[in-house]
Structures are given as C-alpha cells and as structure tokens.
Amino acid sequence: MSGFFEKQFGEDLLLRHFQTKNLRGFGVDDMDAGIAAAGAIIHYLKETEHPNLQHLTALSRIKQDRYVWLDRFSIRNLELLQTAHESGTPLIKVLDKSVSPMGARLLKKWLLLPLKDKRLIDERLDLTQYIIEQNDFRDLLGSQLRQVGDLERLIAKVPMGKVAPRQVVQIKNGLRAIDPIKQYCTNAEHPLLQKTGEQLNPCQLIVERIERELLEEAPAQMGKGDVFKSGVSKELDELRELQHSGKDYLLQIEQREIENTGIKSLKVGFNSVFGYYLEVRNTYKDAVPSTWIRKQTLTGAERYITEELKIYENKILGAEEKIASLEVKMFDELVATLQDYIRPIQFNATLIAKLDCLLSFATIALKNNYCRPNITDDLTLDIKDGRHPVIETQLQLGEEYVANDVQLDSNDQQILIITGPNMAGKSALLRQTALIVLMAQMGCYVPASAATVGLVDKIFTRVGASDNISSGESTFMVEMTETASIMNNISERSLILLDEIGRGTSTYDGISIAWALAEFLHNNPKAKPKTLFATHYHELTELADKFDRIRNFTVSVKEVGNKVIFLRKLIPGGAERSFGIHVAQMAGMPQSIVKRAKEILAELEQKHIDQPDSIKQNLRNISKREEQYQLSIFDMGSPELQRLKEAIDQIDINALTPIEALMKLNELKKMM
C-alpha cells in the first residue's frame, strides 16, 4: 500500500493521465509530497470509480504568496463556514446568494482563500460595481444562471459513463442559457466582461445535435422510455412502427374474436410468464373454440393462446429489444462525441461560477447597504462605521446595529487595548474587523460607510475557549497552543485579534502572559502587526503609557441606578469595571446570589484599595525597574560596567569557535 504514496509512482501516473513529458507546466515539479498525493488520488479514482477520468484535465497548486493565510483556528473562530452553536449563522450563509451549485462551491473557495494581489481584488470589485449599476445585466444573470444548472458536475459524468439521457438534455439547456450571457458580455462596455464574453463557448454544434436527436422529455435512465426523436434513425423508426402497428393488430384480433365467438368480455392481455393471451370468463368458457390452447386457470376466468398470437408476440417483443439495443448504441455514440467538449464546457462552468459569485456580492451589497472598500499597498486599516455582517442581519425589526470606527497602522496606532464590560460587544468588534478585511480581500463590498484596507497577508484570531478532551488538552492549553502559533508566524502585514488572553489560568499568570504578548508584538524587530487586544485585565491599560504605538479604547456603557445600558460604542480610554454581576443578574441568576456577590465584591475592592502592593502597582514597579535597568546599561561611570565593556572590546568575534563563544558568553554572564 505504501508504494501508492511514493513520488515516482505518482509522477508516472500523472504523466500518463495528462499525457505530458513532465510536470513543470503545472508548476508542481518540485513538490514531491504533492505529486505523491495527487498520484494516489488518481489511482484511487481509477480503482474505485471509473477508469475514464478525462474530466480531470489539469493540476494546479495553491500558491501561498497569492492568498491570505487563514489557519484552522481563525476559520473556526471567525465562523466562516459553520458555527459552534446550532442556532448560529456562519458568514457563508450571509454572503451566499448564488443561484447555481457551481457558484456556491466557488464562493466557499473564495471565502477561505482571500486574495493578496491588489489588481485581482480590484478586478472583482470593478465587476461587482458594474453589476450593481446595470440593473438589466443583473436581471439577465439571475434568470439565465438558474437555467445553467450544475454544468461542472454533469460534464464530469460523461467520461465515467454515468451520464443519463435527461442529464445530457440538461447539459444542452445549460449551454443554451449561456448564449444570452455571452452576447451581453461581448457587447458590454466593461473590458473584463468583454473578455469573459469572448471566452464563453456555447458549443453550438453539440447543442444542435442534442437538440436534433434527443427528446426534450428524455427518461432519467436508459430503458425507461423513448430517448431519440423520430427521423434520427431510419432503422429505429421502422422498429417503432412495427412495435406500434403490432399492438394495433392485437386490438384487431381481440375485436375479431369477440365477433366470431360471441364472448363479449374477451380481452387480450400480457404477462412476463406466458406473453400475450386471450382471457375468457368462466361463464363463456363453453364458447371457446377447440383450436385455442389453455395456458392458465384463474378463479373466475381461463387464459388461452393461439398460434396467431405467438407469431405477433415474437415480432413485437423482438422489435422492443432491438429498439432498446439500438438506442443504447446511438446514445453511446452521442456521449462519445460529447467527450470532445469536456474542456470547453468545464471552462464555461468556471466563468459562469465566477459571474454567479459576483452577482451574489452585488445582491448582498444592495440588500445590506455595503460599501466598496479601497484596497491599498500600505499598512493602514481604516474602517468607518463598521458593522458585523452576520449580527446585523439577525437584529429585530427596527433595531439598528451600532457601527464603530477602527483605525490601525504600523507607525502610530499598532495595538488597541480594548476594555469594557461583559456583553458590551468587544468580541463582536474584533470579529467584524477581521471579517471586513477578509470580505474586502475576497473582492466583496463590506458592511461599513467607508473602508481603506492596506493589504493583509495573514489573519490570526484567538477568541473563545474550549477543551480538546480527546487530545488531553485543557482550555488554557488550547488557548496557549493557538496563541503560540500566532506569535511564531507573524508578519508586517498580519492582522491579529486576541480576545481575553490568559483568562484560563490564575490572575497573576494571565496578566503576565497578556502583558508579555503585548510587549512582544510592539517590540518585535521583524514585524509590527496590526493588533486588536480585548481584555478584562484593566491593568493592561498601563501599556499605553509605556509604549508609543499602544492605545487604549473601551466599549462604553451607561449606568442608570442599578442598571447598565450597553451603548456598544468604541471610545478612547480604558474601563475600570467589567459589570460581571450586572450580567449575571440579567441572565436570571437568583437574587440572593447577586446580592451576596455584590457584598463580596465590595469587600475585595476595599482590600484592594487598602493594599498598596496591588497588581497594577506591581506592574508599575516592574516597568520602573525595567526602565532603570535599561538606563543603567548606558551608565558607563559604573566600574562593573567599565570592566564588562573592556572585556567585550577584547573579543575577536571572527576568531571564536561556537564552543568558545558559548564559554565567553558564560564568563560575561558571571561578570554581570
């Protein structure tokens, strides 16, 4: 079995399948593991599905430098394709207004593989804008795409010999539906649409042949009815005539024998055991001629055959068998011709799926009041009145989504520390920012009044919490694993969303980890990734005083008596409270528990005030000690530092071996 996954086996199989001398034309010749995997897939399909796989016409690689990096954690956390809750709605359900199965499949691919090429993104945005502005084209696309059906899946059945007569008619109807789209695109003012119009191939010859030969109401499978029209085959027409005239003759026999015998209830019947027969009720059996041969006795009747019946039976049944055999032969010939059109029909399917996705983008942009994003090559993200594309569609009638601005760049406002109460909307704000960026780089309009998106190459999210019990990982371990993946893969163009980092462990540990992460992201010499950091650790607001590119923001609330009103508006500054007890009360917690929680909170807050060495004070002390230590390094008046400097000056780095360098480093460490 392992031999099927070897590179040489896969390469030989792929070369035979695509009939090429090498794989360089596909851009995969240096991908040993990929070649082995692709070869194993082809082998599996040949062994289990069908040896004829002519519909697999190309091989391509997913180029990392072309698409935004979305790891599996971010795909899950952003709920792109599915949600963790049965009542939840993933983003795909909001974006997918496609009218063909091909468009629906391509849209999922676009969602998981946003683009990094500004030119390609702008092409999609330009076409979407054109469809929005041209009502007649939008209506034409909607009506014609519904008739195209699933050309991609249907044509894949042809080489495998699994296509049915009705499906061939559907292929013909789908190609017919493409023709008006081709004509419109060819005459459109938009150059990209003109190119699409030129590339669409209505496959006129095969369409005309199918239309000329197959019945429009062809059966779902061979042998379940007539397939070909009259006039296609002279032999077929003659057999059908014999079949129909033979049945008419049987009716003549029935009428003649009724008149000759006087048996008014006599009738000609058929079953698979005896073939054709004459059935006579028992009340008339004395009138049966002696030349009839009795074949079966029933409760109230007798069945007979005659020589004349057997002769015509053979003619009729023979004609039916010949008709079935001839239609199978003719259909196989038609399907063999259809195989020559696999590539152009597949290319048609690709173009139609793309138009379907763009129509979907235009539809949701008009329905949900989205704006066209401005895609740039710089490192700035500036969103005006941004909204969550999923949450806003689930609001009750008359309720408006509270939009928020988000501005991030690498020079002035790199990291936003976002504090605020529970249920205020911090997590929604983080997710909507990522979704707006993702939608923009898909080439889709976005839920905002304006958006400038500097190209992002990676989107990382660490939101939510769950155990991975099957792998023996706790909630905190899962959180740290996902966070480690982010920190080890950041880049200058990354967008990072961190929500409640460190909450799975003790308060001191959690704050320490969160603080260290923020420092790392700010001070990293290789990259300054744009970061949204939502937290309940209000102590982290101290970071804004220490670091140039960290800013504090909070999601505002309004207290009215003992109640809290969530305003859901992002404003500068930090929050001092989380209002967790208020949220518990809103959730229906028993009043006795709420009352006791308030008493305990008051006691803890008093102790916190009375103790000068609080968490926040500790962090301030740490910051001061770090600053003092950093300053003391440059205080060369110190005798200890002077001796350290002299020792360093005497080291010839180029002459040191790795072992000697480690030993010298140890000496310097002891001196310090």
Nearest-5° Cα angle at 159, 156 to 163: 70
For residues 241 and 234, what is the distance between their CA atoms, to the nearest angstrom? 11
- The answer to whether 58 touches 324, Cβ cutoff 8 Å, is no
| CATH code for position 267 | 1.10.1420.10
Of the pLDDT bands very low, low, confident and very high (cuts 50, 70, 90), residue 337 is very high
Assess if residue 347 is contained within a domain: no
Q: What is the mean pLDDT of the chain?
A: 82
For the segment 440-455, the average pLDDT, to the nearest whole number, is 96
Question: Quick one: pLDDT at residue 489?
Answer: 87
Question: Quick one: pLDDT at residue 119?
Answer: 95
490/599 same-domain check: no
Assess if residue 471 is contained within a domain: yes
> What does the pLDDT look like over 283-313, one tens digit per residue?
888 888 888 888 888 888 899 888 888 877 7
Question: Quick one: pLDDT at residue 55?
Answer: 63
Question: Quick one: pLDDT at residue 270?
Answer: 82
Tell which phi-psi region holds residue 462, choosing left (phi > 0), alpha (psi between -120 and 50) or beta.
Answer: beta
Question: Quick one: pLDDT at residue 384?
Answer: 96
614/650 same-domain check: no
Residue written as token pair 């929005």: 132
| CATH code for position 429 | 3.40.50.300
Helix or strand run (H / E) with residue 452: strand 450-454
Among residues 250, 269, 266, which one has the least CA distance to residue 258?
Answer: 266
467/512 same-domain check: yes
Number of structural domains found in the chain:
5
387/420 same-domain check: yes
Assess if residue 78 is contained within a domain: no
Question: Quick one: pLDDT at residue 27?
Answer: 66
> What does the pLDDT look like over 40-69, one tens digit per residue?
777 777 777 666 666 666 676 666 678 999
> What does the pLDDT look like over 596-647, one tens digit per residue?
666 665 665 566 555 545 555 665 665 555 555 444 444 555 677 777 777 7
- The answer to whether 501 touches 517, Cβ cutoff 8 Å, is yes
Assess if residue 384 is contained within a domain: yes
416/456 same-domain check: yes
- Domain boundary (23, 40, 61) is at 61
311/404 same-domain check: no
Q: DSSP class of residue 290?
A: T
399/540 same-domain check: yes
- Domain boundary (542, 577, 612) is at 577
Handedness of CA 208, 213, 217, 220 (dihedral sign): negative
For the segment 435-439, the average pLDDT, to the nearest whole number, is 97
Determine the length of the chain: 672
Q: Domain range spanning residue 397? A: 370-577
For residues 582 and 464, what is the distance between their CA atoms, to the nearest angstrom? 21
599/567 same-domain check: no
For the segment 197-211, the average pLDDT, to the nearest whole number, is 93
For residues 327 and 336, what is the distance between their CA atoms, to the nearest angstrom? 14
For the segment 465-486, the average pLDDT, to the nearest whole number, is 64
For residue 579, pLDDT beyond 60:
no
Assess if residue 482 is contained within a domain: yes
For residues 522 and 135, what is the distance between their CA atoms, to the nearest angstrom? 48
Among residues 623, 434, 442, which one has the least CA distance to residue 529?
Answer: 434
- Domain boundary (11, 34, 61) is at 61
Assess if residue 531 is contained within a domain: yes
Q: How far is CA 307 from CA 276, 294, 299, 508, 510, in A?
A: 11, 12, 25, 103, 98
561/422 same-domain check: yes
* DSSP-derived 3-state class of residue 563: strand
- Three-state SS string over 630-644 comes to HHHCCCCCCHHHHHH
480/432 same-domain check: yes
Residue written as token pair 């780089």: 441
Question: Quick one: pLDDT at residue 470?
Answer: 37
